[in-house]
Amino acid sequence: MPGKTLYDKLFEQHVVRREADGTALLYIDRHLVHEVTSPQAFEGLRLAGREPWRLDSMLAVPDHNTPTVDLDQGIADPVARLQVETLQRNCRDKGVTLFDMGDVRRGIVHVMGPEQGATLPGMTVVCGDSHTATHGAFGALAFGIGTSEVEHVMATQCLIQKKMKNMLVSVDGRVGPGVTAKDIVLAIIAEIGTAGGTGYTIEFGGEAIRALSMEGRMTVCNMAIEAGARAGLVAVDQTTIDYVEGRPFAPSAEQWPAAVAAWAELVSDADARFDKTVRIDATSIQPQVSWGTSPEMVVGVDATVPDPAAEANAVKAEGMRKALAYMDLQPGTPIGEIAIDKVFIGSCTNSRIEDMREAAAVAKGRKVADSVALAMVVPGSGLVKRQAEAEGLDRIFLDAGFEWREPGCSMCLAMNADRLEPGERCASTSNRNFEGRQGQGGRTHLVSPAMAAAAAIAGHFTDVREL
């Protein structure tokens, strides 16, 4: 019998029972909750007269709708305010731990969880948000669920799941200077496509992944969903253990040695069999810039906007034409000639302390171009913000002409007041360049924090390595 993949191990460890057709009842260790996808689930519980199965598995935080300025004035939008108040009331009524407005620990759910040590190796982690894949960076099986499943987990601590197939994406060798975790994952998506991981759990491995910090690994796993995979994974190593140690929700000192010993098993066996393996040469990865309306529509900064006429697949070519029309771009245009209106540095993909440092290193001693209407930095949590300020990063950004905001999802999905106006073009460190994602008619180009900062300074995309 071949060995087991990390995913095989995590899945099997959590099976409560199996149906005849292989459908499993999977136990959930950590349930993260936010204001947008939970109200109908709490309502469902109430209507059925049910109580949460295990309160201590739940951790809630408002992040999608929250303002990034003037927090003391509350939420101006009455519909958004009602949603946040509904979360507050639901958590109070049921006794769910909430990191509420005004709490320094509040932040984007996928930044807050790991930062608190609420995400641990070997856990199953779910949240009503597709970017729950982020937590797979810890060797945890983490995936996004819909609201009906949020209610299901609340009521039963379990989910009904079919096992996915195993894919290994191995990024071999080391990336060059100026090439980041974001560029690695965008290059992976360009290679396998936005549906390439559908039906799979992707384990990211190889020297370039092993060399990443936990922040970098979270950036990579975060966008597994943009490659179609509900869950991404990175095997546990010393980097993982060092990150977790001492965090508020981490195992106690007495439990720590046993936990670390158990976590050592959270790697794929040497003879594990993957249904699919993709190898990517890290040395060939350039800083990436997306040009279209799907995350797979991405090229290196030194490339040009591709031509649909050169695409053999008719459905794909039509998709490219629609994307170019929406983005108002011409085939053959050098990426470096695309001018931008706004810059957004933030989101669950790129708002951790390392991302802040990476962007600040580019911004330091420089000025945002006059042609850029708004360049904003939105730290992922109150604690990231505090740490960045302790390091003086806020001063660097403010001196350069960036705005330094309060934590939240912000312009990644523009549910709050931060958004693009129709026709505006944005260099964004977020994860989705879909039509209208950052505001109706807005045009999103996905990049790393360093590349976003460089674009802010230049007023157009530019190779951060040449700045």
Give, as ranges, the residues between 315 and 334 that touch another protein (CB under 8 A).
Answer: 315-316, 318-319, 322
CB of 226 to another protein, least distance (A): 8
* Contact status: 29 vs another protein (CB under 8 A): yes
Q: What is the DSSP string of 90-112?
A: HHHHHT-EE--TT-TT-B-HHHH
Query: 167 — phi, psi (to 5°)?
Result: -125, 140
CB of 239 to another protein, least distance (A): 19
Q: Which candidate, 139, 143, 371, 103, places its Cα nearest to that of 263? A: 139
* Contact status: 142 vs another protein (CB under 8 A): no
* Contact status: 20 vs another protein (CB under 8 A): yes
> Which stretch in 272-280, 313-321, 336-344, 449-457 sits in contact with another protein by CB under 8 A?
313-321
Q: Between 275 and 399, whose beta carbon lies closer to another protein?
A: 275
Name, in order, each residue with C-beta under 8 angstroms of 189's C-beta and a sequence gap of 6 or more.
Answer: 196, 223, 226, 227, 295, 296, 298
Q: Between 29 and 355, whose beta carbon lies closer to another protein?
A: 29
Out of 67, 107, 113, 128, point to the residue binding another protein (CB under 8 A): 128
Q: What is the DSSP string of 59-93?
A: EE---SS--SS-GGG--SSHHHHHHHHHHHHHHHH
Q: Between 29 and 406, whose beta carbon lies closer to another protein?
A: 29
CB of 433 to another protein, least distance (A): 10
> What does the per-residue mask of binding to another protein show for 171-210, with x meaning CB under 8 A?
-----------------------xx--xx-----------
| Count of residues near another protein by CB under 8 A | 83
Helix axis angle, 353-363 to 393-400, nearest 10°:
40
Q: Between 69 and 258, whose beta carbon lies closer to another protein?
A: 258
Pairing mode of beta strands 298-300, 288-290: antiparallel
> Which stretch in 210-218, 332-340, 346-354, 432-440 sits in contact with another protein by CB under 8 A?
432-440
Name, in order, each residue with C-beta under 8 angstroms of 41's C-beta and a sequence gap of 6 or more.
Answer: 128, 147, 148, 150, 151, 154
Out of 68, 157, 288, 349, point to the residue binding another protein (CB under 8 A): 157
Query: 15 — phi, psi (to 5°)?
Result: -75, 120
What is the phi-psi region of residue 193: left when phi exceeds 0, alpha when psi lies from -120 to 50, beta otherwise? Answer: left
Query: 239 — phi, psi (to 5°)?
Result: -60, -40
CB of 236 to another protein, least distance (A): 14
Out of 129, 203, 358, 463, point to the residue binding another protein (CB under 8 A): 129
Q: Between 77 and 302, whose beta carbon lies closer to another protein?
A: 77
How is residue 17 written in tokens? 């029972």
* Contact status: 146 vs another protein (CB under 8 A): yes
Of residues 346 through 405, those in contact with another protein by CB under 8 A are none
Of residues 64 through 123, those in contact with another protein by CB under 8 A are 64-65, 77, 79-80, 82-83, 86, 120, 122-123
Of residues 237 through 296, those in contact with another protein by CB under 8 A are 249-252, 255, 258-259, 262, 294
16 C-beta neighbours (distance < 10 Å), count: 12
d(CA 391, CA 266) in angstroms, rounded, equals: 34
